[in-house]
Structure 1
Amino acid sequence: MIEYRNLRVALLGGGSVGAQVARLLLEQSEELANRVGAGLELIGIAVRDVNAERTVDLPKELFTTDAESLILGADVVIELMGGIEPARTYILQAINSGADVVTANKALLAAHGAELFEAADQVGAQLNYEAAVAGAIPIVRPLRDSLAGDRVNRILGIVNGTTNFILDRMDVDGATLEEALATATELGYAESDPTADIGGYDAAQKAAILASLAFHTKVPLESVYREGITEITAEQIASARKAGYVVKLLAICERLTDPATGTEGVSARVYPAMVPRSHPLAAVHGANNAVFVEAEAAGDLMFYGAGAGGVETASAVLGDLVSLARRHVVGGPGFAASVHAELPILDIGQILTRYTVSLEVTDEPGALARIANVFGDHHVSLELVEQSIVPAQAQTASHEAVRSTATLVIGTHQATEAALAATVRDLATNSVVTKIASVLRVEGA
């Protein structure tokens, strides 16, 4: 028998996720009440246009354009509007009015998370955000709660479904980037403007959130190094496949030792990388997401599932809502995010990584030695060198002799990013190098 009063829930945003959250709240109200110990009453849905067409049939009387009044009457506010403003203002208003907040707004958390968490801490409110990273996959609570007593050393995440779909089509079907992107757009995986996805911006926002959680340190978005997939070619994908790798856009959060000072720091970065086909992340296909966690005591853990979708993301939102509602029933203040470690954020040049570099060089005596010397000059050790000769025609149309070229695929041992980048720059100006065909980092090996 439920004796606690109904908890009033305000929903900001009626898009694909918001509509599914509203539907599930209404359809499963009795079951959710039994889990919480109190009824969850949806008191309204704030939208820009109350007459807009919806993907879900919901009671018209729930819709309003007056978000502020809705917030002031709520015990819990669910923000699913997206963007920075007015979402930031509304969340702060909700917190300061005594309400708890659930949000799926990765952009807002990456840019203003510290401000929002501090505001919640000051008034004893709770701010939950499981749906902000990897959709339906439970990763925020495992990092925040389950692994709170462990030491997370590294996270490798496929956290953007659009780019994973594109790279997967390029790998499986041999499609070009343009062809795979067109398919992703047709299927609704990519927006009409896919820049946030293929440019790595979406993944960078999620990397900032994951790194802050994993290392108990404030990691601002501007500290996350970012590269997208716009330069990835079908030739690179094919070359990686031949070598036993698959190319994935990875969000990498890592605990490292600063090579210059010997002190511990953290790195958060996003870039396409070659992953061994034996690694669990290599088996993540289509638009799915996965987060691979390397913890000191727990060992390797992987969280896999749908990274987007209205009803899938709604599942994570309702999980946060049930958690907050239970706290209301039991009593007690909310708990703040743990960001007390204050570890320094390392520059991309200080990280340790490996490269695979494909070069076209003139086929002449001593060419390989000259290339090896460039790597040696920057203290980058070679792990493997593969060479193939590309025969040239004896003469050009102007009857000038043309030398044959050789293709070199060079794999490095681990070195600092700065040393590897300097090596590539020097290779580009070396007289025996006719073309740098490909440069990709190697992760997970």
Structure 2
Amino acid sequence: MPGHKQHGPIRVALLGCGTVGTEVVRLLTEQADDLTARVGAPIELAGIAVRKPNKHREVPADLLTTDAEALVASDVDVVIEVIGGIEPTRTLLRKALEGGKSVVTANKALLAEHSAELFEAADASGADLYFEAAVAGAIPLLRPLRESLAGDRITRVMGIVNGTTNFILSGMTSTGSSYAETLEEATRLGYAEADPTADVDGYDAASKAAILASLAFHSRVTASDVHREGIASVSAADIAAAKGLGRVVKLLAICERVEVDGTESIAVRVHPAMIPVAHPLASVNGAFNAVFVEADAAGEMMFYGQGAGGAPTASAVLGDLVAAARNRVGGGHGPRESAYAALPVRPMGQTPTRYHISLDVADRPGVLSQVAAVFAEHDVSIAAVRQEGRVDDAGLVVVTHAATDAALRSTVDKISGLPVVREVVSVMRVEGEET
């Protein structure tokens, strides 16, 4: 090309060669010519840091090393990290950035706790920090929040960001099986880890919610700021109740702006919720992910696709690598941290939510009025009530309008103590409807 200056190879260090790392190596090899054309320079894999080289016969032995620190310190341009965990990863990536090397990471847990530190290191040296693969696998989500929607005001991000829990809840919905039975099936099929705690207890989704909120609202949010509830307490009865009301149960990550008395804050939470079957997220089944974004000017958007897995995640890693490599070739750099808004995170108790409450009550006159009186006492407005009579008792279902989470919980606590209430069968939040 006339006037085009040739650039030497972009040298890449890969930290980790598990499910994702192996796919990264495969794509780098198979798409070498295309990547060269897209970047404007060849991409050269300089080395791969692993713990046990003899377990990685699928990659050239001369690329393998057990000394990740030496590899990061070597003459490389970009460090790709797919190890996971906090340490030694945090130290390795900070040293890479301090050394002026661009970093591509898929490490949601690290970013959810230490992104500020990594961004500061990147800013100090002028290096790039890319992390599209950290949330929702192959789905292009973080770059739209970080760049495409940078001129808009995002009001809400709500989505299904964990494939394991969505697979389990989808299975419970389609078969009527219990949580334990469906988890066992998910484990057998490889959708759940042998220790599924990070997924089913909501830790994975909370890390992703922190990253999404940080980008969407230009504020620093960490995983510890996120209210977190898992799916272990979701019963087959909850699923059936949702179905009877034209809803489905999903584990949602919800990040939203909340304005009270002219003061703006952020509410960030992960919990199971009932959503209407007509909502775009309701039809997201199996291990797929989807995120629904609302912005002032752009309106409503949904991002949908493969949220995990080696090849999908590697796709996002390669996209970041191309961006970082292009910046090296062209002399530019990627977007920096945007945390200027510094909005406070609202405590969950002060966050407005809606509830679906199922009660087992005595079947006699005056029960509904006693229950309704408790809602009124706590200033919680009832949106709908459904009563089901049986031989000796009755079922009462109450759906509320939005009120603070603390008020709703206090209401439920008081109701559970009423003599006419035999049992609070289930309590679940309701999302995706007008309040």
Q: Classify the TM-score, shorter chain.
A: over 0.9
What displacement does 1:319 show? 0.1
Match of 2:17 in 1: 14
Match of 2:362 in 1: 362
Separation in 1, partners of 2:281, 2:190: 23
Comparing 65-74 with 319-328, greater Cα deviation is found at 65-74
**SS at structure 1 position matched to 2:281:** helix
Separation in 1, partners of 2:32, 2:114: 33
CA deviation string 1:56-75 (max 9, x = no partner): x2211111111122112210
8 Å contact kept, 2:375–2:381? yes
8 Å contact kept, 2:249–2:275? yes
Return the match for 1:105 from 76, 98, 107: 107
Correspondence 1:430 to 2:418: yes
Gaps of 5+ in 1: 392-403
Correspondence 1:195 to 2:197: yes
Match of 1:249 in 2: 251
**SS at structure 1 position matched to 2:42:** strand
8 Å contact kept, 1:163–1:249? yes
Match of 1:60 in 2: 61
Separation in 1, partners of 2:244, 2:129: 47
**SS at structure 2 position matched to 1:148:** coil
8 Å contact kept, 2:258–2:264? yes
Separation in 1, partners of 2:27, 2:361: 61
1:70-109 equivalences under 5 Å are: 70-72=71-73, 73-109=75-111
What displacement does 1:333 show? 4.3
What displacement does 1:173 show? 1.1
Q: Alpha carbon RMSD of aligned pairs, Å?
A: 1.0
1:148-187 equivalences under 5 Å are: 148-187=150-189
AA at the equivalent of 1:253: C
Match of 2:264 in 1: 264
What displacement does 1:262 show? 3.6
What displacement does 1:334 show? 4.3
8 Å contact kept, 1:208–1:224? yes
**SS at structure 1 position matched to 2:418:** coil
Separation in 1, partners of 2:350, 2:220: 19
CA deviation string 1:2-48 (max 9, x = no partner): 71000100000000000110111122111101000011000110000
CA deviation string 1:116-163 (max 9, x = no partner): 111111111110000000000010100000000001000111000000
Separation in 2, partners of 1:95, 1:431: 63
1:412-427 equivalences under 5 Å are: 412-427=400-415
What displacement does 1:344 show? 1.1
**SS at structure 2 position matched to 1:5:** coil
Q: TM-score, normalised by structure 2?
A: 0.97
Q: How many residues align?
A: 429
Separation in 2, partners of 1:333, 1:238: 51
Match of 2:378 in 1: 378
**SS at structure 2 position matched to 1:434:** strand
Correspondence 1:410 to 2:398: yes
Separation in 2, partners of 1:69, 1:227: 41
What displacement does 1:53 show? 4.5
AA at the equivalent of 2:294: E
8 Å contact kept, 2:292–2:302? yes
What displacement does 1:207 show? 0.2
What displacement does 1:335 show? 3.4
Separation in 2, partners of 1:333, 1:102: 13
Correspondence 1:307 to 2:307: yes
Gaps of 5+ in 2: none
AA at the equivalent of 1:283: S
Match of 2:428 in 1: 440
Comparing 331-340 with 248-257, greater Cα deviation is found at 331-340
**SS at structure 2 position matched to 1:436:** strand
AA at the equivalent of 1:339: A
Separation in 1, partners of 2:30, 2:45: 11
CA deviation string 1:245-265 (max 9, x = no partner): 00000000000113xx54000
Separation in 2, partners of 1:78, 1:332: 19
Separation in 1, partners of 2:158, 2:370: 35
8 Å contact kept, 1:155–1:252? yes
AA at the equivalent of 1:384: A
AA at the equivalent of 2:59: L
8 Å contact kept, 2:99–2:125? no
1:322-341 equivalences under 5 Å are: 322-341=322-341
Return the match for 1:237 from 236, 239, 243: 239
1:135-150 equivalences under 5 Å are: 135-150=137-152
Separation in 1, partners of 2:10, 2:67: 20
CA deviation string 1:59-98 (max 9, x = no partner): 1111111112211221000011000001001001111111
Separation in 2, partners of 1:14, 1:230: 32
**SS at structure 2 position matched to 1:137:** coil
Return the match for 1:48 from 38, 48, 51: 51
**SS at structure 2 position matched to 1:51:** helix
What displacement does 1:365 show? 2.2
CA deviation string 1:233-255 (max 9, x = no partner): 00110110111000000000000
Separation in 2, partners of 1:409, 1:440: 11
Q: TM-score, normalised by structure 1?
A: 0.95
8 Å contact kept, 1:134–1:307? yes
8 Å contact kept, 2:157–2:292? yes
Separation in 2, partners of 1:155, 1:300: 10
Separation in 1, partners of 2:388, 2:177: 25
AA at the equivalent of 1:188: G
Correspondence 1:275 to 2:275: yes
